[in-house]
Amino acid sequence: MARAAALPPSRSSPTPRLLPLLLLLLPLREAGAQDGQVQMPPEVRGLLGDTVKLPCHLLSQGPKVNVSQVTWQRLDPSGKTQSVAAFHPSHGLSFPSPQFSSERLSFLAMGLGPGARPSPEMQDATLVLQGLRVEDEGNYSCEFATFPQGTSRGVTWLRAIVQPHNQADAQEVTVGSEPVPVARCVSTGGRPPARISWFSPLNGEARESEVPGPAVGTVTVTSRYTLVPSSQADGAKVTCKVEHEAFKEPNLLPVTLSVHYPPEVSISGYDDNWYLGRTEVTLNCDVRSNPEPTEYVWSTTSGDLPASAKGQGPELIVYSVDRLANTTFVCTVSNALGMGRAEQVVLVRDTPRASPRDEGPMVWGAVGGTLLVLLLLAGGALAFILLRMRRRKSPGGGGAGGTGGEGRDSGRGSYNPKTEVFENGGPVYWTTAPGPLRPDGKDTEEGFEEEEEKAEKGLMLPPSPALEDDMESQLDGSLISRRAVYV
């Protein structure tokens, strides 16, 4: 861009004194591409088959300069040169190379071809090449023979680029112990060859191969993402990244891996509280499988299902629990690759379990834990608010030893403690105030002790004499004033 801007129109060109300054200001000037008087881009890229322009300008030297000839030469890596185009004011145009006949080559602004008007100063030697071929790639010099300054030249690297077509897919594989390609990424017909890499959460490696592409001079690159196929890899997402200079941004191609494996089975839903006469109990057969399961079979280790039980796909329903259900249930799942099974030992009791504390330890544990945290948070917030209200309402006696009747009253008024105890009636017991049951430590109900500790840890409030006073005052009588959750 900067070069184009600096191109001097010949007649209103800058004076020679300004020129060195202008050259210094050209930011993209690269050593070797020019000798300071010929302006050329160091590299020109064209898509195969397209028309490319090889710009070449002689920076104006003022009216005294007389260009006697312009020559384009191809520079072989061996050092040999081959003339491809020339223009002489009196001898005209010449395209001596058979590879670059006048059908493919022309000067943009020189010669007598249609549309081309010779410029009197011959400062624009830009060459136009049609139908770019792979074998056109190379370094080209553009040379001005001038009088009286002599010869000036620059060099441009012409490169033929072909944009590849990219595609990525998963390779359906079966679980095994040897590494196999699980995803494939193909970049077809690039020039130069595309660069392929993978993003993956898995510990695989890429194996790459190159073959000639469909068009001459192009390359097809194939990268195979390879790992030991496990059932964990099934459904994993990997991404193929293709980089090529014809793309502004790398191409990202997501692939979801597919590993076939026999069903992996587990049984859920057992609550360890099956008792005689209980109705509608269910067990679930949980399966990971690729391909999808074709069949679920429920049985027991002693044979068939008891009459009161019925398998419905992944679900087993026991309509009424009897002694025959006191067994080990088996779920067997098949898919196209094989079978998987899981067992569940069921203990049938005569009566429901006594304590709800033991009921479904996992489930209630989770629910209770959540409630505990929520209650503690709420309790902490409540205590904090109470504390602040009390401080505000009894300005003088916040920390006094529990004798301030006014403070106590206001505390009661807003606090209004209430005990709600569900004795053996539900899984969660709670009361409304934080803190120990008895500040004097006379709490004798051992069941509450652990919970008290938990509650205190969770409360995270600094100990407050005022609050404790409050508690104590509310503990008169039989009020239980603390927070505990039982599961």
Ligand X SMILES: *[C@@H]1O[C@H](CO)[C@@H](O)[C@H](O)[C@H]1NC(C)=O
Nearest in space to 129 (alpha carbons), one of 190, 44, 68: 44
Instruction: Give CA–CA dist 478/464, Å, rounded.
Output: 23
Query: Look-up: residue for tokens 């099974």?
Result: 341
Q: Which stretch binds ligand X (CB under 6 A): 125-133, 312-320, 345-353, 420-428?
A: 345-353
Q: How far is the CB of 158 from ligand X (least distance, A)?
A: 8
Instruction: Give CA–CA dist 130/151, Å, rounded.
Output: 28
* Residue 298 and residue 309 in contact, taking contact as beta carbons nearer than 8 Å: yes
The residue within the footprint of ligand X, chosen from 23, 81, 133, 157 (CB under 6 A), is 157
| Strand ranges of the sheet holding 279-290, from the earlier edge strand across to the other edge | 173-174, 259-268, 279-290, 315-320, 309-312
Q: Which stretch binds ligand X (CB under 6 A): 132-140, 395-403, 429-437, 441-449?
A: 132-140
* Residue 441 and residue 405 in contact, taking contact as beta carbons nearer than 8 Å: no
The residue within the footprint of ligand X, chosen from 138, 192, 368, 402 (CB under 6 A), is 138
- As a whole number of angstroms, the longest Cα–Cα distance in the chain is 124
Measured CA to CA in angstroms, residue 203 lies from 171, 206, 227 at distances of 17, 10, 7
Q: Is 34 in the site for ligand X (CB under 6 A)?
A: no
Q: Is 326 in the site for ligand X (CB under 6 A)?
A: yes
Q: Is 217 in the site for ligand X (CB under 6 A)?
A: no
Q: How far is the CB of 252 from ligand X (least distance, A)?
A: 30
Instruction: Give CA–CA dist 251/255, Å, rounded.
Output: 13
Q: Which stretch binds ligand X (CB under 6 A): 343-351, 399-407, 425-433, 439-447?
A: 343-351
What DSSP letter does each residue of 6-50 carry, written as one string? HPPPSTTPPPTTTHHHHHHH-TT--BTTB-SSEE--SEEEEETTS
Q: Which stretch binds ligand X (CB under 6 A): 344-352, 394-402, 448-456, 460-468?
A: 344-352
How many residues touch ligand X under the rule CB under 6 A: the total is: 16
Q: Which stretch binds ligand X (CB under 6 A): 54-62, 135-143, 380-388, 477-485?
A: 135-143
The secondary structure of residue 134, as a DSSP letter, is G
For ligand X, the binding residues in 436-475 under the rule CB under 6 A are none
The residue within the footprint of ligand X, chosen from 350, 423, 446, 476 (CB under 6 A), is 350
For ligand X, the binding residues in 72-91 under the rule CB under 6 A are 77, 89
Q: Which stretch binds ligand X (CB under 6 A): 116-124, 231-239, 342-350, 357-365?
A: 342-350
The residue within the footprint of ligand X, chosen from 310, 323, 388, 412 (CB under 6 A), is 323
Encoded one letter per residue, x for contact with ligand X by CB under 6 A and - for no contact, window 274-293 reads --x-----------------
Q: For residue 49, what are the β-bridge partners?
A: none
Q: Is 232 helix (H, G, I), strand (E, B) or coil?
A: helix
Question: Which residues contribute to the site for ligand X (CB under 6 A)?
Answer: 32, 64, 66, 77, 89, 137-139, 147, 157, 276, 323, 326, 347-348, 350
